[in-house]
Structure 1
Amino acid sequence: MTEPVIRIKNCLYSHFVGPEDKMKFAYDKINLYGFENDIKLSDESYSVFVGQQDDTITVDVFVEKKSDD
């Protein structure tokens, strides 16, 4: 049996479990962490839907760091 693998390099990550209308807090958490640690973030982000049970969703959120160009 194979397992799905997603490889996203050079990102900050947050795991969210809760109501869909509160998912923005996962992005807020990443942006705050980046700000507090002087990490420049790009506008690129990825949300990977993991599952849902009743009104609770599970999502992995990734936001790319800006490259050092």
Structure 2
Amino acid sequence: MRLASQNSEIANTLGSVRADALKAEQSRAQSNVLLSNISRAQDSQIQLQKTEQAAQGLGNLETASQAKLF
């Protein structure tokens, strides 16, 4: 009887450990998705800034050309 009780306790403990491990893995996976989304958003923002800077540079060059500075 005592052995069966100990086996039951061990099984319960192992089940809890397994459930905790699964929750931790799901949490890590969600964190990775969020970090990936943040990275993509930053990349898009940087690309937009670069495009705006390039357009501004071209506009400055056009203005300078029209003023015959070059």
> If the TM-score is normalised by the length of the shorter chain, which range does it land in?
under 0.3
TM (normalized to structure 1)? 0.27
TM (normalized to structure 2)? 0.26
Q: Whose strand fraction is larger, Structure 1's or Structure 2's?
A: 1
Q: Greater relative contact order: 1 or 2 (C-alpha under 8 angstroms, separation 6 or more)?
A: 1
Q: Whose helix fraction is larger, Structure 1's or Structure 2's?
A: 2
